[in-house]
Amino acid sequence: MAYKIVLDAGHGGSDPGAVYKGRQEKDDTLKLTLAVGKILEDNGIDVVYTRTEDIYQTPFEKASLANEAGADYFISFHRNSSPEDNQYQGVEVLLYDKKGVKYDMAENILGALGELGFREIGVKERPGLVVLRRTNMPALLVETGFLNSDSDNTLHDEKFNEIAEAIAGAILGTLTGETIEDPLYYRVQTGAFRNRENADRMLYRLEEQGYPSYIIKEGEFYKVQTGAYQQLGNAVNMEQKLRDAGYSTIIVTK
């Protein structure tokens, strides 16, 4: 199977992220994202970047880009920061939940970075993060050390190439280890629009009424969908709720 992975360089443009002694998180994340992406591309992965230059994007825009690309995975790179300089050290990987292949991938990335000398903080659930909650595919956020830790920065800089290779290797190793067929998901669709603005209006309306939804671009249409269920009955229940709320819906699969 040919995989498509969206790589996200955290922050950017007017949002520098963490700052320490003139060093900005947005610069470190972009450099690492491009390095990891090059290795993945060289190994046959279709890589899509949320940004390749110093521009600002909201977390919602990043998630929408990944959804519209129809990616198999979304991986966001960040640097951590602590209230006091040199207070903490280490790497961690954040997930919406500790389920499925994304959890295996997170553990593999964490372990690979630990072998390079980073303290392993762990894999943690962060369901409130937009790029983990709004992405319609397995999503990870990798914190590659603390930006305001001199020891982490030394490791980050002196072993930069090894870090990129370790992360890419962990990703590729996880994908190679996948032996089960991708599950079938049922989704509830509330519209297919040629005009993106119409799709956005439908999305905002659903969100305001408490239905977390997303937009997928397929061909010339922007499709607004809610949920991704492995059990048809769950999709049917959501479809009925949306119909009761006045929406015209269909159930689609992917």
Q: Cα(254)–Cα(96) distance, rounded to whole angstroms?
A: 21
Q: Where are the beta strands (DSSP E) in 104-205?
A: 120-125, 139-146, 186-193
Residue-wise DSSP of 196-222: HHHHHHHHHHHHHTT--EEEEEETTEE
pLDDT value, residue 242: 93
Residue 1 predicted with pLDDT over 70: no
pLDDT digits (tens, 9 = 90+) for 8-52: 999 999 999 999 999 999 999 999 999 999 999 988 999 999 999
For 189-205, letters b (16+ CB in 10 Å) and e give bbbbbeeeeebeebbeb
pLDDT band at 178 (very low <50, low <70, confident <90, very high): low
The predicted structure's pLDDT at residue 183: 57
The pLDDT score that the predictor gives to residue 95 is 97
pLDDT at residue 123 greater than cutoff 90: yes
Least confident of 78-87, 164-173, 231-240: 231-240
Question: Mind listing the domains of the chain with CATH numbers?
Answer: 4-176 (3.40.630.40), 186-253 (3.30.70.1070)
Residue 179: the pLDDT is: 40
Q: What is the pLDDT of residue 207?
A: 82
